[in-house]
A and B are shown apart, each in its own frame.
Chain A
Amino acid sequence: MNEVLATGRRTVPRWMATPESITAALLVVAFGVSAAFVPRFLDAAYLLDRSSLYMEVGLMALAMTFVIVAGHIDLSCASILALVGTSIATLHVKLGVPLLPLVFLAPLLGALLGGINGVIVAQLGLPSLVVTLATMALYRGLAQVLLGDHSVSLPAWFTGIERVAIAGTLLPVPLVLFLGLAVALGLVLHKTVFGTWVFAMGTNAEAARYSGVPVAQVTISVFVMSGVFSAMAAMIMISRLGVARYDHALGLELDVITAVVLGGASIFGGRGTVTGSVLALFLIAVLQTGMGVANVKAEYQATASGALLIVAVLMGNCFARFRKWTASKGEGSCSGS
């Protein structure tokens, strides 16, 4: 990429040439347009309240950034959310296990479910797309077997986490939790050896193996992370809704992947930032909130979200061509894994 930029055609500063800055610019404009044209959009209490609807997706997107940068994908994250949520609620309500320890058990259960994905992918060398497609059906199915179409209500003290604000501010707990974890994971991905391994693996798994990266362990780790964050999202969701059901977060894996890819991560691995994913999540939230208050129908919103994902990637590609970034990837574009 340096060749083009270094040969005097420096029309765009390098920091602007990253997918994250596209996302950031989109976010600023989307917010500006909504604030200017949509009545009642600009209301801090409302925006902060509505932000809670996106924090489960956000938490899963943080871990998914690692998975995708490592060159994998986890389609089962929303199903893990549902299975953890229904399991914890069932253990508490049907078997009388105290809820507080269960809340701390949840991440372990998530780690187990994610670990199963990771072990199959790492040990058998199967594509994560197919493995997690299978566990997506499997985990959601188990949640359904567990609860059927029933919903299980949780005790009053546990519900309504999104209504608890950090002392003295309007900031709801899920938002603060998400931002805190985003900073932490950003440091892990971009400032630690583990993060370097994840990037190395996503760029070229074979090369990474020869240069001493413990590829199998890193693979299992990113899937375990995805499971743990899905479990945390499950706890927030069942607290927010007050009930656990098997169809919680149905189809949410698409929103998670959209956020990460929109944030500039390459689906082939090796590229992506936590900042980008966070910006993209807020972009989606602002767009949906703006369209919602403007009373745009759901079907237009779905079409717009789908189109946004493709346009974002196409724009990234235009850019990448500009920087000759995909040169090494060649015809890999038809790869599905």
Chain B
Amino acid sequence: MFRKLTLLLFLVTGTTSCQKREAASNPGTTSVAAAASGPVRVVYIPKNTGNPYFNGVVAGLEKGCKELGAEFFTTGPANPDATSQIPFIKDQVQRGVNVICISPNSSDALNQVFDDARTRGIKVVTVNTDLVGNESHRDAAVYPCDFDTLGASQIELLGSLIHYEGRFAILSSTTDAPDQNYWIQGMKEALKNSKYTRMELVDIVYGDDKPQKSRTEAEGLLTKYPDLRAILAPTSVGIEQAAKAVEAAGVYPGGANARGRGVVVTGLGTPNQLRRYIKDNIITAVALWSPPDEGYVSAYVAVGLATDKITAQTGNSFDVPGFGRRGFGKNNLVIAGPPLIFTKDNIDQYNF
């Protein structure tokens, strides 16, 4: 009995560990083709699996790698803890990949693992999130759009929606999320512009990118500030829960319980997540960039670095089909494209 069970268990574990061979790569078709010694192998490690944002990035990376004749696959942890990516990085190094593209969960806890990978000749490209303060531990970084101006563009978007007048609050992710805090800082700077003198930032709350917490915070804002004119949520979880909160309370512009012009919700979010709210007029406009484009540009950076076609150095630039020339800025940072604004008129053109 026991022997049979053991045998069975081994057969099961044995087969599961042996399946999952990734499909072979397609032959290269474009100019930046693979190097002579077999196809370039690119792996992408998102913050966590099941995060819709990174599925868009994966789609772009896949497309780019296919065009360049590189082998691409993705793997990642189930939870976005600071250290959960470490075993995945180690395993991919051992598998002999040429490039690790990663959206790191920590800006400092992964330094040693990255250094190990790079001493073995593997290129490390951070995508969407950078190792702020530890840039020397990776080769290059790709940002989806220019984060320096994103805060200002969010304030302008919000201003245009509330006629540059009224009190608003920010619903962010976690208190120490580096990107969100950088954008919020940009927003505060922008508010000093005389154009926005009649807009007042009354509160900043944090939903930790958890639905329940974000929802409670959004409802808390509606309670604490009865004259609130807008909620600006530069995070996809936050903006959806803010939209649901104003919908449930009926205080969105034109809603049953709206006081005056109602509470406007805007910020950053994916079209798929917010499609219904935009179509139902609960949200008028929302911004983001294109994750597939971000992935696509990352693929060109990754394969270019691995084949030595590109050297990561501030001032260098390279061609990406359909995107023109992209260059390495300060700290070898590449910016994929401009931010996009989604409204009822254009949202159906996007699927991510």
Interface residues of A (CB under 8 A from B): 12, 22, 25-26, 29-30, 33-34, 37-38, 40, 43, 46, 49-50, 53, 148-151, 153, 159-160, 163, 240-243, 245, 247-248, 250-251, 287-300, 302, 304, 308, 311, 315, 318-319, 322
Nearest-neighbor residue (CB-CB) of B174 within chain A = A149
What's the Cα separation between A30 and B17 when bound, in Å? 10
Chain B: CB-nearest residue to A34: B17
A319–B109 contact, CB under 8 A? no
- Interface residues in B94-120 (C-beta closer than 8 Å to A): 94-96, 106-109, 111-112
Chain A hits for B14, CB < 8 A: 33, 37
Q: Which residues of A contact B216 (CB under 8 A)?
A: none
Which of B76-84, B185-193, B233-241, B342-350 participates in binding chain A?
B76-84
With A292-B88, A298-B75, A318-B1 as contacts: A243 and B13 at CB distance below 8 Å? no
Min Cβ gap A206→B in Å is 33
- Is B20's CB under 8 angstroms from A250's CB? no
With A294-B17, A296-B16, A298-B75 already in contact, the answer to whether A150 and B5 are too (CB < 8 A) is: no
Given contacts A26-B10, A241-B109, A322-B1, 17 further A-B contacts (CB under 8 A): A29-B6, A29-B10, A37-B14, A37-B18, A50-B87, A53-B87, A240-B112, A241-B82, A242-B112, A250-B79, A251-B79, A288-B87, A293-B95, A299-B49, A302-B78, A308-B9, A319-B2
Q: In the complex where A148-B175, A245-B82, A295-B95 touch, is A300 in contact with B16 (Cβ < 8 A)? A: yes
CB-defined contacts of A247 to chain B, threshold 8 Å = 81-82
A sample of 27 cross-chain residue pairs with beta-carbon separation below 8 angstroms, ordered by A number, consists of A30-B13, A40-B94, A46-B90, A46-B94, A149-B174, A150-B176, A151-B106, A151-B108, A240-B112, A241-B83, A242-B111, A243-B109, A247-B81, A289-B91, A291-B16, A292-B91, A293-B91, A294-B17, A295-B21, A297-B49, A298-B76, A299-B49, A311-B9, A315-B6, A318-B2, A319-B2, A322-B2
Assess the B22–A295 pair: CB atoms within 8 A.
yes
A153 touches B6 (CB 8 A): no
Residues of B within 8 A of A290 (CB): 17
Asked if B340 is at the interface of the complex by the 8 Å CB criterion, the answer is: no
Contacts of A300 in B (CB 8 A): 16, 20
- Cβ contacts under 8 Å, A251 to chain B: 79
Q: How far is the CA of A323 from the CA of B60 in the complex (A)?
A: 59
Q: Mark B43-84, 1 if CB is under 8 A from A, else 0.
A: 000000100000000000000000000000101111101110
Q: Which residues of A contact B95 (CB under 8 A)?
A: 40, 293, 295
A49 touches B49 (CB 8 A): no
Contacts of B16 in A (CB 8 A): 291, 296, 300, 304
Closest partner residue, chain A, to B77 (CB atom): A298
With known contacts A298-B76, A318-B1, A292–B6 Cβ distance under 8 A: no
Are B109 and A40 within 8 A (Cβ)?
no
Q: Tell me the complex Cα distance, A24–B267, Å.
A: 55
Q: How far is the CA of A34 from the CA of B16 in the complex (A)?
A: 11
Q: Is the CB of A160 within 8 A of B112?
A: yes
| Complex CA distance for A53 and B94, rounded to whole angstroms | 15
Give the one of A38, A149, A240, A308 with max B CB within 10 A.
Answer: A149
Residues of A contacting B77 with CB < 8 Å?
298
Q: Does B177 contact A (CB under 8 A)?
A: yes
- In the assembled complex, the Cα of A247 lies from the Cα of B21 at a distance in Å of 33
B341 beta carbon closer than 8 Å to chain A: no
Distance of A149 Cα from B2 Cα, bound (Å): 48
| B93 to chain A: closest residue by CB | A46
Q: Which 7 A-B pairs have the closest CB atoms?
A: A149-B176, A292-B91, A33-B14, A241-B109, A29-B10, A37-B18, A294-B17
Which of A26, A40, A163, A297 contacts B9 (CB under 8 A)?
A: A26
- Find residues 11-32 in chain B having any chain A CB closer than 8 Å to their own CB: 13-14, 16-22
Are A43 and B2 closer than 8 Å at their CB atoms? no
| A299–B13 CA distance with the chains assembled, in angstroms | 14
Give the shortest distance, in Å, between A45 (CB) and chain B (any CB).
Answer: 10
Q: How far is the CA of A289 from the CA of B108 in the complex (A)?
A: 24
Q: For the complex, what is the distance from the CA of A243 to the CA of B120, rounded to whole Å?
A: 24
Residues of A within 8 A of B88 (CB): 292, 298
- Inter-chain CA distance A149–B209, complex, in Å, is 13
A33 touches B10 (CB 8 A): yes
> Which of B17, B106, B176 is A243 in contact with, Cβ under 8 Å?
B106
Nearest to B86 among chain A residues (CB) is A53
Give the residue of B78, B94, B175 whose beta carbon is less than 8 angstroms from that of A299: B78
A303–B192 CA distance with the chains assembled, in angstroms? 52
A61 to chain B, nearest CB (A): 18
Query: B162 → chain A, closest Cβ, in Å?
Result: 30
Look across to chain B and name the residue whose beta carbon is closest to the beta carbon of A50: B90
A43 in contact with B78 (CB, 8 Å): no
Residues in chain A near residue B87, CB distance under 8 A: 50, 53, 288, 292
Contact B109 A287 (CB under 8 A): no
In the bound assembly, the distance between CA atoms of A227 and B79 in angstroms comes to 26
Of residues B79, B82, B106, which shows the largest number of chain A Cβ atoms within 10 Å of its Cβ? B82
Query: Which residue from A30, A148, A163 sits with its C-beta under 8 Å from B176?
Result: A148
A33 near B109 with CB under 8 A, answer no
Expressed in whole angstroms, the Cα–Cα distance for A150 and B177 within the complex equals 9
A46 shortest CB reach to chain B, Å:
5
Complex Cα distance, B82 from A50, in Å, reads 18
Closest approach, in angstroms, between the C-beta of A49 and any C-beta of chain B? 7
